[in-house]
Structure 1
């Protein structure tokens, strides 16, 4: 079918539409349907009279460029980068103002005449009211990215074109420009332009954010993302704030965050916006002190409206600095507690409360999954308070045989029972006198002993077995459990009155998989193990990625065991993903690999399988390592395990 025939059929289709017959709209995309209806019903465009391309004079073009001169300056780098990517595919690039006038253009000179005729040129007018349905004009009307492909254009002279456009908005959400790529020829399928749509949308957002940063370069700007790695590079959210935390402006993602907050708390209004600390559920000092915390100057916060964790950094004003009082607005340093977390919001709330409790006598109940570091927190609470330097006695209630719990806790006098020490024994409660008693797994304490513990807490005295009179004790009690205490109380397995004695304040530790500072935790545990072993070994990036991606059902205790295993078994001066326990290697296990076949617990054919692979690869260890998805040292280690030696390395060979 010739282009002229297609144009004639297209015009006939639109004429039927203008006569009130909707049949031509069958199968038409909704966004195009609405635009066609506007063209014939609202703009009164005649499909039978295609319009000539309208190109503004130089003077008129200059009048359109002046209001967006600042944007053109900011957008230049993005425009050049995008055009460099699409030029070889036959596309030209247009940047228009909010009325659809092309104020910047990139195209190939050899196609100059054809491009000018098609309207793909500097100064061309792509307003939907004049040009009809087209990517630029319809994008401006709907304020959304769109592809207008071939015969989706209203004007018959445009049906050979494919055009993809995305809006660029100002900080108030109003369209100030449109970024468009267009081609004179393209495949018939509209889906062929999907990648171009994503690309144009991406660069439009980049230009929009660059313009925002330029406009508010003299203000404080919070930059955030849900991925820590992208915050400095391309953080999606931008919010300009005053030094008191009030919001000045925001980019698209920032406005969406504000709108989500307003939707959840309708008492607020666009005239009375929430403050930045209300959005991110933190103190103003924590937000303004970001640049003074952490190596990467990023801090994690919980978003109040959604509960998700965002990573935030602070972009300082160009010509002024934060006052010293603001930069130092962070909480008082408490080394014993501060070293337990980096910037995880849940952990920071726990540690903030722990700082307030460290010098109080109130009993503390630490809850959380097994392995989350409950004893570590209890010891840090002790070491940071006024009882530091006094005894810290830790008791695992689940590890002591039930028959010995009473004597271990309360102690006994000489001859109190058969088999006891001749001189008796001071119980653990007495040993903690003046300091802190930490009862781990308190949920496993036998019910009969719960009454005696309750008395100790009420009277601050302990009755050793065989004694006639109690002994006064001065202890601070911290308990911990991974159990559901409310359920245990309901089932009659734990005394309710004791629970409320223990739960003067509760600190809930998040699971490792929930923490935003997993990288910090992994580094801290690894460096601690290196210090214990007096070693210096590098943890390679592939190992760190696997550790970050693991679910850690056993939490920090499991992490410590995994790293200990890697340090004990790895060869060389670095730890790779293949040195980790297999359950921690994550997606790497999906790589092609042989598996040992076992009978009665003995390896049967791992060595044979490895020998066959090596033989097939002519003993090229690097090739075998790539096929198995493991490192070369791992292959060599397995070769030694099975006594496999390359033929050219055998004695006498």
Structure 2
């Protein structure tokens, strides 16, 4: 097909689309191209049958446009040159336009200057939609989104050999600042050939936008966060310029997406408070550079509940810290409590409250799933309190038989019942006198006993079984449960007045799978086990850590402790690898494939692997990424006998 004929067909297609007299095969999903064609005809009065020559503004006009974005051009230059170096050999040119569509920076192959200038792919070219019609730059300006305008997407028939991809660059207020575009004079017919070009252009547009943001707010503190802890320092996606009170002065495009608020006209609350945006305290923000060696801290987004990892970018000229900021950053250090978490936002809030209440004689109710460490937290609070020199007495209300729980809690006098000790017995509550009484699984306490416990808490005295004289006790009571006490109250199985007496304050523990500091917890649990059992030092290799971090841990920290105990016992050379972990921590798909029954006469994959590795079980375990005990279990399951002699191994049937 000749160029002239192709252009005429394109003109006919646009006119037909505008008249709705026939359907036009637009690019899949590109309704915005259709909207642009409509604007060109209905609003701008452009005629597709009258192509326009490329408009190149005068040098004076170009300088005026460049001067208006001078600071931005200084920042963008490096990104523009880097992008061009990646695309030049593919035949692309690069255009950077201002918000009006005038090309203020251009990089291209000088050998094709004449063709490029004629096509408008040149410095000073006007690519506004009002003049050039549907095109990547002009339509990007109108639609405020990245797009590819490929060949016949263009309104002007003389542009149907071009492929152009553009992405918007916004200023810190969300207004269009510039458009980044890469274009080629000749391109393949397939539009999907430009998919990578679109991603690459968007990537560099974001990089340039963020670099300009950091430049604009270089004299302010930047709160930089990302969903990945590893990348937040080098490529944090979300940027917030904040003042001394933690209020957001400005944010980049990604940051503004986290500030969306249904209650305001434009969806974004004016100058939102970072502490409400991430459910934290001002102290948590200013202490980021001091709390951890990597100067990163986890925060939880108040709307989505997602976890983000944040770092602070300090002004190049360090501003003198105010006394308020210094005081906020210097949170009280309580070793017993600080050891329980790193930077998980929920744990940070829980431990902060625990620090403030550790010496207050108010009841504490600790809530969390089974195995999350409720008793560990209670013991840490006791150890950090002024009661630490007296006893910490833990009572599992679900473990004591109902027939004995009253005598266990309140004690008894001599001869109180058949089988009682001759001298009687001090109950657990009395043993906790001066210290802390921890009532675990309080939701399982019998209803009748709840009444007596309420009296103890209200009057500060107990009545041993068989005694007529009450005994004064002074102990702090903490309770814990994984149950919903509110629901138990509605069902009539738990006293509301006891609940309010116990619940002077509530401390919530997240499940292990929800914690942002899982890696810290894993290392700490292993370190505690090594210290308690007097074991040699053991390290966790990266493949094992990846598997541990990926596992859901339905049994929480208690299950983690058991898994690490198993791994420590089976590992070699003081290093836990993925092969040493319990099989439930590994990929279920691998297990199901290898464990499948092999009813054929052919050798099973497991037997083949054993033969290939000369019956070295450790090598086979590494091959499948499981532990050695798992390989032995698979062998037993499939009836495979270990080869103890040379010759062909056998499989039992």
Do they fold alike, i.e. is TM over 0.5? yes
Who is 1:602 aligned against? none
CA distance in 1, matches of 2:222, 2:256: 14
- Asked if 1:207 is matched to 2:208, the reply is yes
- Asked if 1:321 is matched to 2:325, the reply is no
Moved more, 385-394 or 443-452: 443-452
- Asked if 1:613 is matched to 2:609, the reply is yes
Who is 1:403 aligned against? 403
Is the alpha carbon distance of 1:264 and 1:230 closer, same or farther for their aligned partners in structure 2, counting shifts above 3 Å?
A: farther
Moved more, 133-142 or 380-389: 380-389
CA distance in 1, matches of 2:380, 2:200: 51
Q: Give runs of aligned pairs for residues 167-206 of structure 1, distance below 5 A.
A: 167-206=168-207
2:300 to 299, 302, 314: 302
Is the alpha carbon distance of 1:631 and 1:475 closer, same or farther for their aligned partners in structure 2, counting shifts above 3 Å?
A: closer
CA distance in 1, matches of 2:230, 2:547: 16
- DSSP 3-state at the match of 2:240: strand
CA distance in 2, matches of 1:229, 1:521: 17
CA distance in 2, matches of 1:141, 1:628: 54
CA distance in 2, matches of 1:609, 1:15: 64
Q: Give runs of aligned pairs for residues 16-95 of structure 1, distance below 5 A.
A: 21-23=19-21, 26-28=24-26, 29-95=30-96
Q: Give runs of aligned pairs for residues 377-456 of structure 1, distance below 5 A.
A: 377-456=377-456
Cα displacement (A) at 1:214: 1.0
Is the alpha carbon distance of 1:369 and 1:617 closer, same or farther for their aligned partners in structure 2, counting shifts above 3 Å?
A: closer
Who is 2:624 aligned against? 628
CA distance in 2, matches of 1:308, 1:110: 51
Residues 488-543 of structure 1 show CA distances to partners (whole Å, capped at 9, x for unaligned) of 22333223332222222222222112222222222211221232343222211222
Is the alpha carbon distance of 1:308 and 1:322 closer, same or farther for their aligned partners in structure 2, counting shifts above 3 Å?
A: farther
Cα displacement (A) at 1:356: 2.4
Runs of at least 5 residues in structure 1 that lack an aligned partner in the other structure? 600-604
- Asked if 1:275 is matched to 2:282, the reply is no
CA distance in 2, matches of 1:631, 1:491: 46
- DSSP 3-state at the match of 2:370: coil
Cα displacement (A) at 1:559: 1.1
Who is 1:133 aligned against? 134
- Asked if 1:468 is matched to 2:468, the reply is yes
Query: Would the aligned equivalents of 1:593 and 1:629 in 2 still touch at CA under 8 Å?
Result: no
Q: Give runs of aligned pairs for residues 476-491 of structure 1, distance below 5 A.
A: 476-491=476-491
- DSSP 3-state at the match of 2:232: helix
Query: Would the aligned equivalents of 2:613 and 2:620 in 1 still touch at CA under 8 Å?
Result: yes
Residues 119-149 of structure 1 show CA distances to partners (whole Å, capped at 9, x for unaligned) of 2223322122221110011111221111111
Cα displacement (A) at 1:434: 0.7
Query: Would the aligned equivalents of 2:457 and 2:501 in 1 still touch at CA under 8 Å?
Result: yes
Residues 234-277 of structure 1 show CA distances to partners (whole Å, capped at 9, x for unaligned) of 2221111121223321111222333x23x24789986x532222
Is the alpha carbon distance of 1:561 and 1:632 closer, same or farther for their aligned partners in structure 2, counting shifts above 3 Å?
A: closer
Who is 2:351 aligned against? 351
- DSSP 3-state at the match of 1:223: strand
- Asked if 1:116 is matched to 2:117, the reply is yes
Moved more, 91-100 or 58-67: 58-67
CA distance in 2, matches of 1:76, 1:592: 54
CA distance in 2, matches of 1:633, 1:233: 42
Query: Would the aligned equivalents of 2:583 and 2:627 in 1 still touch at CA under 8 Å?
Result: no
Who is 2:575 aligned against? 574
Who is 1:154 aligned against? 155
CA distance in 2, matches of 1:506, 1:339: 20
CA distance in 2, matches of 1:501, 1:637: 52
Q: Give runs of aligned pairs for residues 350-369 of structure 1, distance below 5 A.
A: 350-369=350-369
CA distance in 2, matches of 1:242, 1:646: 76
Residues 133-176 of structure 1 show CA distances to partners (whole Å, capped at 9, x for unaligned) of 10011111221111111011111111011111001111111222
- DSSP 3-state at the match of 1:321: coil
Moved more, 48-57 or 612-621: 612-621
Query: Would the aligned equivalents of 1:51 and 1:155 in 2 still touch at CA under 8 Å?
Result: yes
Query: Would the aligned equivalents of 1:268 and 1:274 in 2 still touch at CA under 8 Å?
Result: no
Cα displacement (A) at 1:278: 2.8
Query: Would the aligned equivalents of 1:334 and 1:384 in 2 still touch at CA under 8 Å?
Result: yes
TM-score, normalised by the number of residues in structure 2: 0.89
Q: Give runs of aligned pairs for residues 523-534 of structure 1, distance below 5 A.
A: 523-532=523-532, 533-534=534-535
- DSSP 3-state at the match of 1:452: helix
Is the alpha carbon distance of 1:343 and 1:322 closer, same or farther for their aligned partners in structure 2, counting shifts above 3 Å?
A: farther
CA distance in 1, matches of 2:625, 2:127: 54
- DSSP 3-state at the match of 2:214: helix
Cα displacement (A) at 1:633: 12
Query: Would the aligned equivalents of 1:578 and 1:634 in 2 still touch at CA under 8 Å?
Result: no
2:285 to 284, 287, 291: 287
Is the alpha carbon distance of 1:598 and 1:368 closer, same or farther for their aligned partners in structure 2, counting shifts above 3 Å?
A: farther
CA distance in 1, matches of 2:197, 2:629: 44
Cα displacement (A) at 1:82: 2.4
Cα displacement (A) at 1:390: 1.1
Query: Would the aligned equivalents of 2:590 and 2:624 in 1 still touch at CA under 8 Å?
Result: no
Is the alpha carbon distance of 1:264 and 1:538 closer, same or farther for their aligned partners in structure 2, counting shifts above 3 Å?
A: farther
Cα displacement (A) at 1:423: 2.5
Cα displacement (A) at 1:208: 0.3
Residues 341-394 of structure 1 show CA distances to partners (whole Å, capped at 9, x for unaligned) of 222222222222222221111211111111111111111121222212111111
Query: Would the aligned equivalents of 1:460 and 1:474 in 2 still touch at CA under 8 Å?
Result: yes
CA distance in 2, matches of 1:39, 1:433: 85
CA distance in 1, matches of 2:634, 2:570: 12
CA distance in 2, matches of 1:423, 1:265: 72
Cα displacement (A) at 1:560: 1.0
Who is 1:537 aligned against? 538
Cα displacement (A) at 1:646: 9.7
Is the alpha carbon distance of 1:63 and 1:202 closer, same or farther for their aligned partners in structure 2, counting shifts above 3 Å?
A: same
Is the alpha carbon distance of 1:530 and 1:452 closer, same or farther for their aligned partners in structure 2, counting shifts above 3 Å?
A: same
Moved more, 187-196 or 510-519: 187-196
Is the alpha carbon distance of 1:45 and 1:623 closer, same or farther for their aligned partners in structure 2, counting shifts above 3 Å?
A: farther
Query: Would the aligned equivalents of 1:100 and 1:126 in 2 still touch at CA under 8 Å?
Result: yes
Residues 156-200 of structure 1 show CA distances to partners (whole Å, capped at 9, x for unaligned) of 111011111001111111222111111223232323322321221
Residues 275-332 of structure 1 show CA distances to partners (whole Å, capped at 9, x for unaligned) of 2223222222221221111222222223334343332221101112351631341432
CA distance in 2, matches of 1:632, 1:565: 12
Query: Would the aligned equivalents of 1:149 and 1:162 in 2 still touch at CA under 8 Å?
Result: yes
Is the alpha carbon distance of 1:626 and 1:525 closer, same or farther for their aligned partners in structure 2, counting shifts above 3 Å?
A: closer
- DSSP 3-state at the match of 2:104: strand
TM-score, normalised by the number of residues in structure 1: 0.89
Cα RMSD after superposing both structures: 3.2
- DSSP 3-state at the match of 1:329: helix
Query: Would the aligned equivalents of 1:410 and 1:464 in 2 still touch at CA under 8 Å?
Result: yes
Who is 2:98 aligned against? 97
Cα displacement (A) at 1:554: 1.0
CA distance in 2, matches of 1:285, 1:395: 36
CA distance in 2, matches of 1:196, 1:608: 47
